[in-house]
Amino acid sequence: MTEIDSVEIPVVASPEISRRRRRLLLGALGSVASACALLGLMAGSGYAGFSRGLSERPTRSSGANAQDPAYLVDQYQRCIDAISAANGPRAQAYCEEVLRLQPGNKGAQELRATALAIQIPATLESHPPPIRVQAEDKKVAFEQFQSALASSNWDVTINYGEALRALDKTYERATVEAGLYKALVTRGGGAINKGELEAGLFDFEVAAEIKKLDDRTEGMRVVVSLYQDAQYFYGADWDGAISKYRQVYAASPGFRDTARKLYESYWRSGEENDARRDYCQAEKRYTSALQLFVTAEIQAKHTLAQTYCLATPPILLTAGPGTSIPVAGTSAPGSVPLGYASPTPKP
């Protein structure tokens, strides 16, 4: 098990943002553009389709707002407006209000994911400019490299090391590569512990080009990569998020907010199953959530889902002469329950 947050390594700036961050931001912009296009279509039709879909969806929420499609449409539009204004926290609040009343609303789920994405800092911290080494200066550059390495100045070590390798890979090769590798994995680990995951992964990728990553560093790389993958599902696909965060949790339970996000993913997936009246699956999701954190709210949801699940006997449908297919619902008159034809439960 790799515990990353407990590693104490000096932290310095990273040279660049990786391609993953750019894809995330481009995806966020794409979602905003799609949402704006959707608004245009909805405005032209008076929100007829959207409102009808909202009114037809089953909900167990109470209060007038849950029964008022106009209120949900208003919150949905406010979420889009906030995203267009680059106000991620406000957009998140509006979208979560829609999801509170309609947990299975896919449009609101995607917009919430966009609201979370635009809250991720995308600024580059300053770092020393690249160093150019002339052929006659190799000896001097090597001395500077060794001095920076001895003083744990990872930025300067990396700059001189990369400059020497670009000029002549054979010059003091073993010493330069060993020092450069150490500087890269140390700086990368520090960036990860600071929360600069993309920067850390970038340094690890460069280090891996020098030599195979050691077991500790490779473990850190795997956990961070899994966590980053999970972030793309969080808020948009709760079942997908569960699958990804479970992998991170299995490898490093204490890494960042993995436990909390896995808990919320179980919780939100349970609500979606409640909305679909798949109470047995909802009960399983709430059970998993309670294994991480116990709260009165989830306990109440779990108890209610369990009650509905136990109170929902199977129904038998006739597929052909003498053939009965059991599915969830109310038993058909005179039928003998043989079991459930529900989907295979998700872990």
- What tens digit of pLDDT does each residue of 2-26 get? 433 333 323 333 333 344 444 444 4
What is the per-residue pLDDT across 257-286, written as a single tens digit (0 to 9) for each?
A: 999 999 999 999 999 999 888 999 999 999
When pLDDT is cut at 50, 70 and 90, the band that residue 320 belongs to is: low
pLDDT, average across residues 100-105: 81
Q: Find the CATH number of the domain harbouring 165.
A: 1.25.40
287 vs 107, more confident? 287
Find out whether 297 and 311 touch, Cβ atoms under 8 Å: no
Which among 173, 194, 227 is the end of a domain?
227
> Is residue 212 a part of any domain in this protein?
yes
Q: What is the mean pLDDT of residues 157-162?
A: 91
**Position 59 confidence tier, pLDDT thresholds 50, 70, 90:** very low
Same-domain status, 145 and 187: yes
Is 81 within a domain?
yes
The pLDDT assigned to 138 comes to: 86
pLDDT score of 119 more than 90: no
Domain final residue pick, 69, 86, 117: 117
Average pLDDT taken over every residue of the chain: 73
pLDDT of residue 25: 45
Query: What pLDDT, on a 0 to 100 scale, did the predictor assign at position 133?
Result: 62
Residue 332 binned pLDDT confidence (cut-offs 50, 70, 90):
very low
Do 66 and 40 fall into the same domain?
yes
Q: How many domains does the chain have?
A: 2
The residue among 208, 227, 246 that closes a domain is 227
In a domain? residue 298? no
Domain assignment of residue 223, given as a range: 135-227
Q: Are residues 99 and 64 in the same domain?
A: yes
Residues 223, 141 share a domain: yes
Asked if the model's pLDDT at residue 57 lies above 80, the reply is no
Q: Which residues pair with 77 in a beta bridge?
A: none
User: Is the domain of 78 the same as that of 141?
Assistant: no
Q: How far apart are CA 27 and CA 120, in angstroms?
A: 13
Q: What is the mean pLDDT of residues 96-121?
A: 78
Q: Which amino acid is at 285?
A: R
Band the pLDDT of 244: cuts 50, 70, 90: very high
Both 202 and 169 in one domain: the answer is yes
Q: Are residues 215 and 146 in the same domain?
A: yes
Separation between Cα atoms, residue 326 and residue 20, nearest integer Å: 46
- Encoded tokens for 11: 């932290």
Of these ranges, 2-11, 83-92, 138-147, the one predicted with the greatest mean pLDDT is 138-147
- Tell me whether residue 277 is in a domain: no
Cβ neighbours of residue 119 under 8 Å, at least 6 residues apart?
88, 89, 92
Residue 314, SS3 per DSSP: strand
Q: Which one has a higher pLDDT value, 229 or 347?
A: 229
Which backbone phi and psi does 99 adopt, to 5 degrees? -70, -25
**Is residue 343 in some structural domain?**
no
pTM of the model: 0.56
Task: Check pLDDT > 80 for residue 76.
Answer: yes
pLDDT band at 100, cuts 50/70/90? confident
User: What six digits make up the tokens of 295?
Assistant: 């709260």
208's tokens? 């891996």
Q: What is the pLDDT of residue 8?
A: 31
Please report which confidence band the pLDDT of residue 107 belongs to, taking 50, 70 and 90 as the band edges.
Answer: confident
